[in-house]
A and B are shown apart, each in its own frame.
Chain A
């Protein structure tokens, strides 16, 4: 075998892109062992080893730019939260992607996504002016100087027909609870979380500064997000770019309102409901209890705890830009998740992230389990329960 060449220049370039901890890795391989890719068969599973990818990165060696390898990680954080060396594995993955994407070599299937985000401020090829289409007939308040909360609706829930139900449900609940909130509208842009994970640093910077400028100019102080991804980037990435607000995921706010007696859950929903922890709300943000509290407060609901729950939750495969990946049937993490819920006897699998809902819905259809398991987003269930 021809020897591979170590390149300090390449290694240092990746570090400069943000992989500051890549040299901390001692190659124990715990990451690979915990990776959800080990749970499914197929070509990607065979080719992708996060330990090996980090090894190539830390030696500046060629080989990691193979698209199947470089873009396989869903940034679920299972490896990172257990790494004995405290290596920020997701930052390293992001930086390795950035070293390729930044040089104009994004994979073909991602170009339309990144292009749409550039042009329309959303990755879903939706025209900017259609961003508020979901609000039709709802009388959603506009954010103004006297509004307390700015409600930031994830692009997915603005454009994806199934996902708009999340935004609609949440508006209904917030109104029911008498919360002072409003939306800005067409000028909002995608939070850019997934764009950055895909390695398009420039695009992320553009989207983030546009949002920061907009929010600050409107006098935003407090933000409610529908998606844990927006929540995470607003909390962890925006502050150093000048976006410093009090950010809250809607489940946190609703749990608080429930305590204060401002939400009345009256309609009985007699179902066994399992909760799927989204990676970005759970492992990445540490929010585990509020969604469970909301779920168990709904009259009639029998909550079902999955075996892989909380810190050990199994990724739906929608993070890190994987929501746009084409994955053959039988290799999707979401399918395992649906089986988890069915085996536990749940009638509904609910979650608190539009990406998770999307991935789990697909998986449920693929497995033809729609008859036994319904996939929902928690806001929908709550909205239904306040109806009576």
Chain B
């Protein structure tokens, strides 16, 4: 694109009082030869915006640098169309609001931030969205239980075509074997009818929903809006093209055979919740041992749950399921003795009212671990437990039936770990592999493995705090009990949420835009293949499995799988991966645009590479709260710390910059990285930085990584000042002036 630059500096919000704006203007004119450099008292006002628009129309300006407030605000006001290049220089939050006004160092900071912004604008090109042929907006739902049926119904209601695949002959899933559901309407005291037939009927009669029963997904090839799904049914294979996928394959009960200590397998009258549902469903509530009616029953909650030797987690629904079944027995016979042995009763929300009702029905609640299930000598069972509430061991009366409330195991956990073909020996960086279990659900034709990566315990959620339904495979959204243990009501909510996610995905992708978290971004990575060395670093480090490879081991990017984080760009040792508006060279040149005073001026320079998702907003918030920190910092936002290429460190140090601070998200088990592994990868790369520093004969303390979350703004001045102090100790970078 033939560029015509325009620089617009705002004097509002205190900028004009704190800075010499004319001097800033002169940088545009004198240093960068920008033909149009203007200032305005309130650039975001109608007059200010019109000033820019007039230049676009009249002067043919197509590359705009706005030096004003943070790019996180006024993005709608300063939107001049995607065919223009736009760069925002943050003079307000990160310069005048956190540094003293009319100060030489503040002015120098503003000038450097401006130089970096102009440099970036000079190198950026407007993005050219990726739009392929034959893009589909249909949604595949895998699993025809409560979640799958609901997701299909909801997507169809919104006008989207759905392909539903169910492995059993009939739709309904787990619900088919359920007698009643927990209460869902006031006064929340009675179990309610399942009503599965209505839901199935709605799905079957909807013309937008194509149902395959007795069918499995044999393979899925492609990427969002271009998934080719091979469905095996009746011995035949059919291929359907879909845009996004909802995984609703649910969970299975934990294997009770592992619970011999609670009497399972030892006594016929020790059963599971599922067996009791079937007893009531079939109208045959009898003791398995002798066919006699059940006059007394004991439930053991957390049977194999919240237990290090079994499932360490809580399955969240079993408490209410047991309360519901206690009610079954009490409804059948109010005098039936019912015991519930529990760790904690987790009956959240309106289920509290149900719990109260079951207490009113005179069920015995015993809080404590069951220590024994034994024959009382007459064939009935006696339970002993450590009752926390009386502080003593207690013994129940004899009961006819013992019911184990076992937890949920997601269907994605049912498989052996997939072994990713690893790169050659002697590779520089070892990336911890994702956990992918071969559960035979999606059978993805992805280089990284056939299923969606799992978190702990085999649940495939990608980000438990911020983004439910997201998996680490773009366009594939787990919902219901496969994603996290949950009850029926929450599964319905989940299904609706995931359906909406799938719809967002097909809509954005078909317009060439990224999905969450960079929703709407039209840039995507481009590979300069002539220089590729087939090192596989990009394919392995991409957190989303976006990159396959061909038979010659060349990377094969799938742009619609891409979330535009730039991790591949940070990984590539040959630096052949770049975006139209974000590249290794571009950031490198921004670093080079920083004016580094020589060592005698005693003005150190610190490069801050800040994650755009948490650290950068935290810096803005520090400004918003007028927290002051040293004026030596020069901040460059990164899409993700994982896009940090090690060459930038070398660029900065060889230019004489005294230190580099990387601000990224927390990683590890409770990671907060929006791109899952970005900050972790940056950290791994930093362990290798020592070689670079050694080569330059520099101290390793000159580079520091800090974890910052969005709420850490009040810690930032301390972090920045501590680092400046450390650098003062080390003395100036000897490369200054070279």
Contacts and interface: CB of A to CB of B under 8 A. Distances in A.
Contacts of B393: 1-4
A7 B356 contact: no
B396 A27 contact: no
A52 interface: yes
A6 B397 contact: yes
Given A3-B395, A26-B345, A55 B390 contact: yes
Given A23-B359, A26-B345, A26-B359, A5 B395 contact: yes
B566 to A, nearest CB: 51
Interface in B112-169: none
A24 to B, nearest CB: 5
A59 B363 contact: no
A65 to B, nearest CB: 15
A8 B394 contact: no
Given A8-B337, A23-B363, A24-B360, A3 B392 contact: yes
A59 B367 contact: no
A369 interface: no
A56 interface: yes
Nearest to B388: A27
Given A3-B384, A4-B395, A24 B337 contact: no
A59 to B, nearest CB: 7
A60 to B, nearest CB: 9
B397 A61 contact: no
B362 interface: yes
Contacts of A2: 393
Nearest to B385: A3
Interface in A45-84: 51-52, 55-56, 58-59, 61, 63
A235 B433 CA distance: 74
Interface residues of B, number: 24
B392 A6 contact: no
Interface string B368-400: 000000000000000010010110111111000
B34 to A, nearest CB: 68
B380 to A, nearest CB: 14
A122 B415 CA distance: 79
Interface in B483-539: none
A6 B395 contact: yes
B362 A4 contact: no
A218 interface: no
Nearest to A8: B337
A334 B719 CA distance: 58
A24 B397 contact: no
Nearest to B363: A23
B364 interface: yes
A24 B358 CA distance: 9
A157 to B, nearest CB: 41
Contact of A85 (B345, B356, B363, B390): B356
B389 A27 contact: yes
A63 B397 CA distance: 18
A52 B390 contact: yes
Given A24-B359, A24-B360, A4 B397 contact: no
A15 interface: yes
Contacts of A61: 390, 394
Contacts of B367: 27
Interface in A1-45: 1-8, 11-12, 15, 23-27
A246 B394 CA distance: 50
Nearest to B296: A8
B397 A8 contact: yes
B679 to A, nearest CB: 42
Contacts of B366: 6, 59
A3 B356 contact: no
A59 B359 contact: no
A5 B395 CA distance: 5
A194 to B, nearest CB: 30
Contacts of B359: 23-26, 85
B106 to A, nearest CB: 55
A3 B395 CA distance: 6
Interface string B413-442: 000000000000000000000000000000
A374 B396 CA distance: 56
Interface in B314-373: 337, 339, 345, 355-356, 359-367
A15 B362 CA distance: 10
Given A15-B362, A27-B367, A4 B390 contact: yes
A56 B391 CA distance: 11
A26 B356 CA distance: 9
A55 B387 CA distance: 10
Contacts of B394: 3-6, 59, 61
Contacts of A8: 337, 364, 397
B362 A23 contact: yes
B392 A1 contact: yes
A63 B391 CA distance: 13
Contacts of A59: 364, 366, 387, 390, 394
A3 B362 CA distance: 22
Contacts of A25: 359
A187 to B, nearest CB: 43
Contacts of A58: 364
Q: Which 10 A-B pairs have the closest CB atoms?
A: A3-B393, A3-B395, A23-B362, A4-B394, A55-B389, A27-B389, A24-B359, A23-B359, A6-B396, A4-B392
19 contacts: A3-B384, A3-B392, A4-B390, A4-B392, A4-B393, A4-B395, A5-B395, A6-B364, A6-B395, A11-B362, A24-B356, A24-B360, A26-B365, A27-B365, A55-B389, A59-B387, A59-B390, A61-B394, A85-B356
Given A3-B393, A8-B337, A26-B355, 17 more contacts: A3-B384, A3-B392, A3-B395, A4-B390, A4-B393, A4-B394, A15-B362, A23-B359, A24-B356, A25-B359, A26-B365, A52-B389, A58-B364, A59-B366, A59-B387, A61-B390, A85-B359
